[in-house]
Amino acid sequence: MIDDIKDIKIENTYADLGPAFYADARPTAISAPYLVAFNPDTARMLNLAPAVANQPEFLAYFSGNRLLPGSKPVAMRYTGHQFGQYNPDIGDGRAILLGEVRDRDGRLQDLHLKGAGRTAYARIFDGRAVLRSSIREYLCGEAMHGLGIPTTRSLCLVGSDDPVQRETVETAAMLVRVAPSHVRFGSFEPLYEAGETEHIRRLADYVIQRNFPDISKEDEDRYVLWFREVVRRTARLMAQWQAVGFTHGVMNTDNMSIPGLTIDYGPYGFMEAYAPGYVPNHSDRMGRYTFNRQPSIALWNLRVLATVLSPILDKSAAADILEGFAADFETDYLNRMRKKLGLREKMDSDADLVQDLLKIMADAGLDYTIFFRSLSNFTTRTQTPDSACSAATRPEFTRWRKAYRERLKAENSVDAFRKSAMDRINPKFILRSYMAQVAIQKATEERDYSEIDRLRELLSTPFDEHPEMAPYAEEPPEWGRNIELSCSS
């Protein structure tokens, strides 16, 4: 384990690809930096002793005041389709890839400094991140990781009193994001638009070697095999989002990860009252990125990716693979929903059982997380009352409950065993928007960062009971319902 942050070993495999894939960049320091949050779990993953956070060099390295030894910082080049329209002017405008480090399993992990100042891709913008949105991203990365969903994570969050203009004047922050890759669908788009076929091939070979080790570089069909795995991972990620009630908010192609991670947390939201058309981003007036549209938008984005990969990817094979996306998603999603219902076996009627329940939940406005968590208390014994919920007296729920009980009996379900299994798949705690807002207010108004740490620890084990944290498992207060966010979030 590394006890001194100065001993960290930085690699630059992405920078080694050459200047077609990035612009040289150096962080613009924030003044008088202070540590807002440090994630000891991510530190351990990177083989860093938690005590490194106390070293003055740590703060200097991750506030842009000093460069990590051996670092060659770059801003990654990419473009993307934003709300369905191609935008050639994107790229890392406020984030800088400091380099990569080996985690304790020997895998490369990016160190990506968000809020690091203007780069060649910044356009008219200031290149800064604010503390408010940085807290939201820090917390949600850990919440998703705790739920078992692939995601970027964070090592630390550094603040400063430097002013940053958004809707109002806020204070600056830098977030150290950690991920096995930050290559996006959009990373291939400028290469395609410029006709840079060899660069498309080179970037594809790079991500295959780094993030898809089961595919051999000697295989003549490696790009077909790779694209098939990208589609599978994306379908699986969408199934995970849908099963847990997560809405990303801005599923542009530049926010879609090639290795299948959840990246770029902005106006995201975990659904509370179940509503298929839920959208947390008030900028999305047309509802392009609503909860129920996420799988179809993912497929739309994959079609864009297939187009930009067409110089190296067989079009017929790509079309066949894309045709399989729906089946990949539906199979994975239904399997996850079976588990949420405590079903061990597969039956043809399961899809209808799930859809009937979701319709009842939508009509009744049931809290998605609370309902599924409480459903583990359901019993196959008809003489035992079910857990109370606001839909209990609805005729359609009475019918569903009867069908569910018969379905459980058909596989000889044992209540105690089923409850244990369901409580391992249905979280008790999610990152509700009001919870993040409380942490933000305490941090920005009182310089109290304890709520950030409290939430990080709670959300790292969201399936546990945590009786001392019971209020966090309840429905949000009235002021915290249906919070909408902007892209500046």
Same-domain status, 45 and 174:
yes
Q: What is the mean pLDDT of residues 156-174?
A: 97
**How far apart are the C-alpha atoms of 306 and 397, rounded to whole Å?**
43
Of the candidates 281, 304, 335, which is a domain's last residue? 335
What are 183-226's pLDDT values in tens digits? Answer: 999 999 999 999 999 999 999 999 999 999 999 988 889 999 99
Identify whether residues 131 and 196 lie together within a single domain.
no
Instruction: Please identify which of the residues 92, 110, 254, 264 carries the catalytic annotation.
Output: 254
Residue 12 lies in a domain: yes
Distance CA 35, CA 50 (A): 13
CA distance to 62, 265, 368, 376, 379, per residue, from 400 (Å): 54, 36, 17, 15, 14
Instruction: Convert the pLDDT of each residue in 356-401 to its tens digit.
Output: 999 999 999 999 999 999 999 999 886 544 554 666 678 899 999 9
Q: Does residue 141 share a domain with residue 70?
A: yes
Residue 228: per-residue pLDDT? 98
Choose the final residue of a domain: 137, 154, 185.
185
Structural domain includes residue 486:
no
Give residue 462's pLDDT.
Answer: 98
Crossing angle between the packed helical segments 294-308 and 325-340, to the nearest 10 degrees: 150
Section 19-40 average pLDDT: 98
> Is residue 461 predicted with pLDDT exceeding 60?
yes
- Model pLDDT, residue 388: 46
- CA 253 to each of CA 151, 250, 268, 297, 453: distance values in angstroms, whole numbers, following the listed order: 16, 9, 16, 10, 32
Predicted pLDDT at 382: 66
Q: Are residues 278 and 150 in the same domain?
A: no
The whole domain housing 360 covers 343-423
- 472 within a domain of the structure (yes/no): no
Same domain, residue pair 60 and 171: yes
Q: What is the pLDDT of residues 69-91, one digit of tens each?
A: 999 999 999 999 999 999 999 99
Residues 403-417 have pLDDT tens digits of 999 999 999 999 999
Side-chain half-sphere exposure of 54, counting CA atoms within 13 A: 4
How many domains would you assign to the chain?
A: 3
The closest of 8, 99, 6, 112 to 55, measured between CA atoms, is 6
Does 431 reside within a domain?
A: no
Are 252 and 356 in the same domain? Answer: no
pLDDT at residue 273 greater than cutoff 70: yes
pLDDT at site 389: 60
d(CA 247, CA 293): 10
Provide the pLDDT for residue 385.
Answer: 46
Beta strands in 260-360 (DSSP E): 269-270
465 in a domain, yes or no? Answer: no
DSSP letters, 217-273, are TT-TTHHHHHHHHHHHHHHHHHHHHHHHTEE-S---GGGBBTT--B---SS-EE-SB
Are 299 and 357 found together in one domain? Answer: no
41 and 149 part of one domain: yes
- Decide if pLDDT at 252 tops 60: yes
Same domain for 351 and 325?
no
Region class of 365: left (phi > 0), else alpha (psi between -120 and 50), else beta: left
Is residue 137 located within the same domain as residue 223?
A: no
- The predicted model gives 326-337 an average pLDDT of 98
pLDDT surpasses 60 at 489: no
Banded pLDDT at 484 (limits 50, 70, 90)? confident
> pLDDT tier at 236 (50, 70, 90 boundaries)?
very high
The answer to whether residue 254 is catalytic is yes
What pLDDT does 106 receive?
Answer: 96
Q: What does the block give as tokens for 349?
A: 């009627």
In a domain, 463, yes or no: no
Residue 446 falls inside a structural domain: no
**Can you give the pLDDT at residue 97?**
98
pLDDT band at 147 (very low <50, low <70, confident <90, very high): very high
The pLDDT mean for the chain works out to 95
- Verify that 69 and 148 share a domain, yes or no: yes
Q: What whole-number percentage of the chain has pLDDT above 90?
A: 93
Q: Which residues of 364-373 are buried (b: 16+ CB within 10 A; e: fewer)?
A: bebbbbbbbb
Residue 454 located in a structural domain: no
Is 325's pLDDT higher than 60?
A: yes
72 and 12 in a single domain? The answer is: yes
Question: End of a domain among 280, 312, 335?
Answer: 335
